[in-house]
Amino acid sequence: MSHRVFGMSFASVYPHYVAKVEKKGRTRAELDEAIRWLTGFDEATLAHHLEARTTLEDLFAAAELNPNATKITGVVCGVRVESVEDPLMQKIRYLDKLVDELAKGKAMAKVLRA
């Protein structure tokens, strides 16, 4: 089953992530750090995916997911992240959970599972 969100561009959801974390006193740099930690991208690659309007499906296909990503647990939109069966949807939920944790003021070391 293909979800509509898979075809959404990363550039279309990124501003919402930025707004969410900035509203809670966090920075775009912290958000980018969390995204880079999850995806394995460097700054230039992340910027390229934003400029190219890469879909979430293609973004995660190009990513080398952090081995500690499986330590991301909890609930996003009423669904336990660790219970999501579709691998792509789980990666998207991992990203959503990192954004939520940043917005809730969690220490960066804990967000990045250090």
The CATH architecture of the domain made up of 4-111 is Orthogonal Bundle (1.10)
Contact 98, 38 (CB under 8 A): yes
* Eight-class DSSP state of 54: -
Burial of residue 46 (number of CB atoms within 10 Å: 0-12, 13-18, 19+): middle
The pLDDT of residue 1 is 55
The pLDDT of residue 3 is 82
Burial of residue 35 (number of CB atoms within 10 Å: 0-12, 13-18, 19+): buried
Q: What is the pTM of this model?
A: 0.93
pLDDT along the chain (114 residues), means of 10: 85 97 97 98 98 97 96 93 95 96 96 92
The pLDDT of residue 20 is 97
